[in-house]
Amino acid sequence: MSRFIRHYLLALQFFTRVPVTGRLAAWVGYSPAMLRASAAHFPGVGWLVGLWVAAVFTALLWVLPGVGAAPWVAALGATVAGVLMTGAFHEDGLADLADGLGGSADRARALEIMKDSRIGSFGAIALVLALLCKVALLALLAQIDPLHAVAALFLAQVVSRAAPLPLIFTLSHVGDAAGSKSKPLADALSPAALLAGLLWMALALLLVVALMPGMAWWAGVLGAALGTAWVGRLLWRRLQGFTGDGLGATQQVAEVLFYLGVAIALPFE
């Protein structure tokens, strides 16, 4: 149990702005092997992020007048809350990957562009479109059914953070290992870690389905799976492997397509 908590806190420290500092950080410790093992808890971090953004979304829907632009304001507020909690970690990966793959057809040059901290036109466009899609789909879900929108917001954070795990398990890490902050985390994933990460996702899915039965959740999972497969194929075809930026992009695409799947299926229930 102690090792479980330490690995979870290490994942939380790596993927959010939640402070794990001082004596707590000293107790957690650090090693490349621990950081690698913490990959099993990516979806577990999604539980915490999901509960936070769902709470903000619910609070805004409750205090705002139930007319007009209220769902849009709540969707925007929840999106901002998520970005603040994670430090735009995954959004940054999406922008970098778009700049790299859009900036050059050459593999080596694309990897070089992705290391540049400056954002280019492809990255800016991808980032803006992703944020707009999330806000618009959340607002749409809130107008269809506010309770389902809250549940979808929570579940999407968990499912989308499970999405990169199959890519880590099946693809090889590419790029500059020495200069990549993601390398100690993402260079390998054991079958046990993959199973643990999928268990985090399964528990969240079972919880939501138990409270709100319906096929919309499975449509969301299908959307996230299709998005993951698309990004995985893109990474394999263009880079012959994955980078940390590619994993961040996978999370963003999976989150958007989860909302889209739920939004398509929910009116038919």
Residue 63: pLDDT over 50: yes
Whether residue 60 is contained in a domain is answered as yes
Amino acid 170 reads T
CB 56 within 8 A of CB 153: no
Which is higher by pLDDT, 156 or 117? 156
- Most confident stretch, 26-40, 173-187, 254-268: 254-268
- Asked whether residue 24 is assigned to any structural domain, the reply reads no
pLDDT (0 to 100) of residue 75:
97
Which of 42-46, 117-121, 215-219, 252-256 shows the lowest mean pLDDT across its residues? 117-121
* Whole-prediction pTM: 0.93
In a domain, 23, yes or no: no
Taking only Cα atoms into account, the Rg of the chain, rounded to an integer number of angstroms, comes to 18
Band (pLDDT 50/70/90 cuts) for residue 182 is: very low
Q: Which tens digit of pLDDT belongs to each residue from 218-249?
A: 999 999 999 999 999 999 999 999 998 999 99
| 211 lies in some domain | yes
| Pairwise CA distance, residues 198 & 122, whole Å | 32
Residue 113 pLDDT grade (very low, low, confident, very high; cuts 50, 70, 90): very high
b vs e for 248-258, b when ≥16 Cβ sit within 10 Å of the residue's Cβ? Answer: bbbbbbbbbbb
Q: How far is CA 39 from CA 98, 128, 192, in A?
A: 24, 28, 11
d(CA 249, CA 267): 29
Query: CB of 157 within 8 A of CB of 248?
Result: no
> Which of the four pLDDT bands, split at 50, 70 and 90, describes residue 181?
very low
Is 144 domain-assigned? yes
Q: Is residue 25 part of a domain?
A: no
Give 85-95 pLDDT, tens digit per residue: 999 999 999 99
What CA–CA distance (Å, rounded) separates 53 from 165? 23
How long, in residues, is the chain?
269
| Angle subtended at Cα 172 by Cα 171 and Cα 177, rounded to the nearest 5 degrees | 145
- Domains held by the chain: number: 1
Q: For residue 183, what pLDDT is reported?
A: 46
**Residue 187 pLDDT:** 64
